Each structure stands twice: as C-alpha cells, then as structure tokens.
C-alpha cells in the first residue's frame, strides 16, 4: 500500500500480526482523510451482511473518497460475500473498501479483490496453519529479523528459545517484536546471548507445560522428570496445581481430537483451546495411543484431588515436596497411558 500509488477500490488486510494489521488500517484511514476524504464508515462483519456493505459502498459521496471499513470480514462464509464479488466487478471510483480480519478471503473473493485491489498479509502465511514446523520457522525468522532491524543479531537456536519461552504469546508477532527490541537493546553492539534471553524473556509457565506435554506424549520419562525438577526449583517456580491445570486443559484437547472424525474446529469449540494450543492437541492426538487422551483426563482429575487433600501431598521436609511427589507419580502414569499401557486411573 504505497503512498505513491493511487488508492485502490478494495484492500483485504489480514493476518495474525494484529499490531501490523491495525497499523495498516490506521495508515489507510489517515491517507483517505489526508487526500480530502471523510472519516471511515465502520462496520463489523458479524453485525452486517455483505449486501449492506455493498449498499454503503454504492452510496453517493459528497466529500471526496469514502472509506468503508469492515472488521471481522473473515467471518463471512463463501455464499455470504457474493454481493461484494458482484460489486467489485464494477466498483464505485470514489469508494475505497477495506476488509479486515485475521483470516484470508474465500477463493472467489480473493480473485475479485486481486483483480482490482490488493491483499495485504501480516504474520505467518495462511498456508502454515496446521503446519507446526513451518510456523515455528516463520516465528524464528521473524524474531531474527526484528533483532536485525535494531542493529543486532541472534542465532536461530536462541530465537527458537525466545519463541518457546514466550509460550502462547510466542504466536503473537507483536509480542515477539517487543521481546526482540528488548534483547537488541540489551546486547548493544554484540550478538544476543543466552544470558540476555534468560534475564529478559519471562518464561510463560504454559510454554513449559506444552513442553512437558511433548515429553509425556513422546514417552520421554527422564526428560519429563528433569523438567518437573526444573519447574520446582529456582526463582521461576511453578506450583504443582498450576501444572496439573495446564496439563488437564491440554489433555482435554487431545481427548476431543482422538474422537472419530474430530477436526481442529471441534477442539476449539469444545475445549476453548485456540490457535497453537489446538494445533498441538491435534498433533499429540495422532502420536498418543488410542484412547490415551480420555484416560489421561480422568487421571488428571484424580491428580487434582490428590494435590488438594491427599496425605501424600503433605509429605516432605519442605513446602511443596509432597505435591511434587504426587505430580511426578501422575506424570509417570500419563506417560504409560500415552505409550498404550494405561490401566484404570488410580488414587
């Protein structure tokens, strides 16, 4: 969207990098006003039909270029957008239509937009959805690019660590850009070092819970127990009940994903998991033994009771020793279940 080019009749602005999407929308609105247009007419795709938006686009303009701005346009289904596809075959020259959302347009809508306007994408390409490896590579390269913009460098492995420590926020490009800025400033003229990441990027407990889930499903008992010890030590301690809750939420997703014919949408709708957590649950559902998700949900329910009232939870010479023992026993059972050796949840 160059200021040296005339405004196009339509823009589809989308992507997971919400900060850049919002910046692009603000710049477009500012440009329309700077060129003598009126403030944007704003709509929500969940509240109006594409036909109503078309009517707004075709209304007479008495103040230069009009900007019709529709957020959450990606919520419309393929059949819903037919009025706009017809409109874009002969758009009103004095109207600029901006369609905004996280997702991209339907195939026919994409063709209609590209014929007369422009599609602007910010964040991982839509093709990476459901492809964890491709998404991880995009976010790694994004962190490296953001550090370079500020005159620094960061190794690929260390950029991966930044994304991992950020947890769910590691799939928010705006958050990662802030983390990259902090690291570049701290490193100064030198490269970003592990000590900078350790000191400045706060580890999200949920990120480590996902890593623990990886180890449980993979059956890596030693690494899982080592991670539990790490979670229990140092200044960044995570309470056993917090870990139990995170694992319970994740394994509910796995249980749903292991149901016959389940889709990522089912996981999101039933469990509330969104984006990366839902994708991770689908991945683990394919790796774990059949029925392991449901068994683990039951075992984690028992584990919560054990952490709250079991005599085992009060054992040990220091606070938390018993809870960690109960958690370790629970993780042992989860690993066995994911390997296909689960029996009945025990108390």
What residues have CB less than 8 Å from 155, skipping those under 6 apart? 191, 192
Residue 320 pLDDT: 59
Q: At what angle do helices 221-232 and 321-338 cross, to 10 degrees?
A: 150
Query: What CATH architecture applies to the domain 205-338?
Result: Up-down Bundle (1.20)
DSSP codes of every residue in 56-109 = HHHS--SSS-EEEEEETGGGS-GGGGHHHHHHHTS--TTEEEEEEESSPPPHHH
pLDDT, position 58: 93
Q: What is the predicted pLDDT for the residue at 2?
A: 58
d(CA 144, CA 155): 7
Give 243-293 pLDDT, tens digit per residue: 888 899 999 999 999 999 888 888 888 988 876 677 778 889 999 999 999
Higher pLDDT, 84 or 60: 84
Q: Which CATH architecture has domain 10-123?
A: 3-Layer(aba) Sandwich (3.40)
pLDDT value for 275:
67
What single string gives the DSSP state of each residue in 14-69? E-S-HHHHHHHHHHHHHHHHHTTPPPPEEEETTTS-HHHHHHHHHS--SSS-EEEE
The pLDDT value recorded for residue 347 is 39
pLDDT at 234: 53
What pLDDT does residue 321 have? 67
Of 279, 275, 283, 277, which is closest to residue 103 (Cα–Cα)? 275
Cα distances (angstroms) measured from residue 342 to each of 248, 277, 293, 314, 345: 16, 24, 11, 27, 8
CA nearest 94: which of 58, 41, 52, 51?
58
CA gap 145, 140 in Å, rounded: 9
Residue 317 scores a pLDDT above 60: no
Q: How far apart are CA 68 and CA 66, in angstroms?
A: 6
- Dig out the tokens for 152 from the structure: 């620094």
Mapped onto helix, strand or coil, the DSSP state of residue 11 is strand
Over residues 34-81, the pLDDT tens digits come to: 888 888 999 999 999 999 999 999 987 767 889 999 999 999 999 999
* Cα of 132 vs its chain's centroid, Å: 11
Q: Is 181 within 8 Å of 154 (Cβ atoms)? A: no
The sheet carrying 10-14 orders its strands as 41-44, 66-71, 95-101, 10-14, 118-121
pLDDT category, 294, cuts 50, 70, 90? Answer: very high
pLDDT at 1: 62
**What mean pLDDT is predicted for residues 92-109?**
92
Query: pLDDT (tens digit, 9 = 90+) per residue, 148-207?
Result: 999 999 999 999 999 888 766 556 787 788 889 889 989 988 999 999 988 888 777 666
pLDDT digits (tens, 9 = 90+) for 208-244: 667 788 889 988 888 888 888 877 665 557 788 888 8
Q: What is the average pLDDT score of the chain? A: 85
Residue 188: CB atoms within 10 A of its CB come to 11
SS3 breakdown of the chain: % helix, strand, coil, rounded to 5?
60, 5, 30
pLDDT at 344 over 50: no
Which residue would you say has higher pLDDT here, 141 or 278? 141
Identify the pLDDT of residue 345. 44
Evaluate if residue 12 carries a pLDDT over 50. yes
Q: Which of 121-135, 273-287, 312-326, 327-341 has the highest mean pLDDT?
A: 327-341
**pLDDT higher than 70, residue 331:** yes
pLDDT at position 38: 84
Q: What average pLDDT does range 115-129 have in this prediction?
A: 86
């Amino acid at each position: 969207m160059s200021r040296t080019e005339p405004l196009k009749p339509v823009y589809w602005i989308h992507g997971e990098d919400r900060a850049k999407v919002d910046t692009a929308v603000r710049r477009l609105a500012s440009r329309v006003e700077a060129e003598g247009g009126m403030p944007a007419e704003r709509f929500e795709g969940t509240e109006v039909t594409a036909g109503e938006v078309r009517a707004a686009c075709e209304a007479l303009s008495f103040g230069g270029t009009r900007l019709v701005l529709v957020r959450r346009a990606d919520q419309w289904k393929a059949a819903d957008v037919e009025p706009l596809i017809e409109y874009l075959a002969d758009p009103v020259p004095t109207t600029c239509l901006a369609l905004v959302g996280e997702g991209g347009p339907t195939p026919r809508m994409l063709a209609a937009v590209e014929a007369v306007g422009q599609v602007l994408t910010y964040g991982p390409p839509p093709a990476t959805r459901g492809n964890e490896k491709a998404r991880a590579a995009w976010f790694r390269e994004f962190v490296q690019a953001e550090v370079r913009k500020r005159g620094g460098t960061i190794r690929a492995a260390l950029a991966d660590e930044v994304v991992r420590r950020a947890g769910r926020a590691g799939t928010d490009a705006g958050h990662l850009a802030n983390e990259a800025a902090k690291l570049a400033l701290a490193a100064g003229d030198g490269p970003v070092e592990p000590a900078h990441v350790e000191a400045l990027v706060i580890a999200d407990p949920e990120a480590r819970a996902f890593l623990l889930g990886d180890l449980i499903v993979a059956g890596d008992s030693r690494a899982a127990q080592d991670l539990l010890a790490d979670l229990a030590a140092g200044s960044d301690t995570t309470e056993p009940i917090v870990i139990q809750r995170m694992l319970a939420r994740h394994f509910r997703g796995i249980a749903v994903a292991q149901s016959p014919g389940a889709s990522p949408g089912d996981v999101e709708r039933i469990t509330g998991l969104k984006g990366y957590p839902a994708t991770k649950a689908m991945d683990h559902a394919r790796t774990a033994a059949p029925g392991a998700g449901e068994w683990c949900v039951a075992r984690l329910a028992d584990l919560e009771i054990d952490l709250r009232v079991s005599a085992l939870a009060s054992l040990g010479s220091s606070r938390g020793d018993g809870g960690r023992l109960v958690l370790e026993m629970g993780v042992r059972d989860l690993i066995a279940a994911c390997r296909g050796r689960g029996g009945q949840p025990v108390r």
